Amino acid sequence: MMKETREKPKRAVVAAVQLSSVSDLEFEASLTELSQLAKTLGFEVVGRFTQKRAQFDQTAYFGTGKREELRSLAEDADLILVDHEISPSQARNLEKEVGCEVMDRTMVILEIFHRHARSRAARAQVEIARLGYMAPRMREAAKLAGPQGRGRSGVGGRGASESRTELDRRKIRDRIAELERELAAMGAERKTQRARRQERPGLARVALVGYTNAGKSTLMRALTGSEVLVANKLFATLDTTVRALHPESVPRVLVSDTVGFIKNLPHGLVASFKSTLDEALEASLLLHVVDASDPGFERQLAVTEDVLKEIGAKDVPRLLVLNKIDHGGGEASLRALYPAAIVMSARREGDVATLRDAIVAFFQRDLVEAELFLPWTAQQLRGEIFASCQVLEERAGNEGASFRVCGEPEVVTRLREQLGRKS
């Protein structure tokens, strides 16, 4: 029997220039994050390479002497991962000098998004970002090709003196325009769906937001009892998932899981993925989930705050959730530092119950108590009363049943109108 052969993972060296304005702690955290991104792509990190400089080298990112050192280190690697976005010419020159492929931070993140996107909208958004990233790099590659890329005019082909590169750029522009039209149509569909949800009284919305790999999907599964993807990787979730809080409450609460945030997210992706964060804008409450076991969680807090401001969600009420406390982080000290936060582990049932109670309490604060009378001739409305209100007491009489309920004002008003018509 033939043995099944598995392809060996690509070996990568993570590399970066530390500018004088960047602290050692921030620099180390960013390099560690790049290593985690490499892991998400299935790469094996076999080395780290750094240089301190006042500014990046304009030719090939690293200084001349350091490029020689990197060449020696790269002999045991398949590619170099650079922890900054570098220009096409810098990438090309660095590849020539070190002798292996170079991927900058932006390309790494784009590749992760490309592999993990599932929905039509996410795939379209990723393709737009990738095309925008590749266009200038195609121009750089054309410089190497020289004048042979220029072709003759032809029917249905390139116009007079239109080079292959110009044709490719035109195709990219056309494809981006096509994808943007598709996204606009999908956006209209999502708006219609949200409008329908808003028309349904007794429905509340919560969105999980936070840094990538903070445990949002695990928490989503714990709160809703749903089988959503859970993986110990950055950007495991790229598509918005919506499920009902379980057990169901009054009012019924919908919980949304959103794409994670990350420092230095490529601008093209910030713009493209705003639509996946629309759930945060539509929500009445944000659960800001933080990996409290990460020594740099305060930096992650700041990144999430910046992204929420950027998408216009900074004024949406939020509840800070310090998650993964079972992995470390000092539970007592965190409770002292953040008294208003929920300090928890998504894997502990008691902690999840506490968070669920806090969510329900938030949405029940504006509920009103009311008396409803249901004639025996209108029993078909009994199920709706129990579905949309919390029934505190039920009393049976000769003409029908009286209910003391707790519910949203508009729900109670609507039920009274329906019961009035049945009387």
Instruction: Name the architecture of domain 201-364.
Output: 3-Layer(aba) Sandwich (3.40)
Does the pLDDT value for residue 161 go beyond 80?
A: no
In terms of pLDDT, which residue wins out, 287 or 6?
287
For the entire predicted model, the pTM comes to 0.72
**How many angstroms from the chain centroid is the CA of residue 390?**
34
Does the pLDDT value for residue 153 go beyond 50?
A: no
DSSP, residue by residue, 191-204: HHHHHHHHHSTTEE
Token pair belonging to 259? 């794409």
Phi, psi for residue 400 in degrees, rounded to 5: 165, -160
Average pLDDT over residues 187-200: 69
DSSP, residue by residue, 24-66: HHHHHHHHHHHHHHHHHTT-EEEEEEEEEESS-BTTTBS-HHH
Phi, psi for residue 83 in degrees, rounded to 5: -85, 40
Sign, CA dihedral 360-363-365-367, equals negative
Helix (H) or strand (E) holding 18: strand 11-19
Q: Averaging pLDDT over each range in 206-215, 351-360, 403-412, which range is the top one?
A: 351-360
Token pair belonging to 128? 């737009």
Homologous superfamily, domain 11-112? GTPase HflX, N-terminal domain (3.40.50.11060)
Q: If you average pLDDT over every residue of the chain, what do you get?
A: 83
Does the pLDDT value for residue 240 go beyond 90?
A: no
Residue 196: how many CB atoms within 10 A of its CB? 9
Residue 177, pLDDT score: 94
Average pLDDT over residues 101-108: 93
Does the pLDDT value for residue 203 go beyond 80?
A: no
pLDDT in tens, 263-272: 777 666 666 5
Residue 156, pLDDT score: 47
Average pLDDT over residues 115-136: 83
The one-letter code for the residue type at 184 is A
* Cα 194–Cα 259–Cα 35 angle in degrees, nearest 5: 175
Residue 175, pLDDT score: 94
380: DSSP letter: G
Residue 278, pLDDT score: 67
Percent of the chain having pLDDT more than 90?
41
> To the nearest 10°, the Cα dihedral for 258, 263, 269, 271?
80
Look-up of token digits 């705050």:
305
Secondary structure of residue 374 in the 3-state scheme: strand
DSSP, residue by residue, 101-127: EEEEHHHHHHHHHHHH--SHHHHHHHH
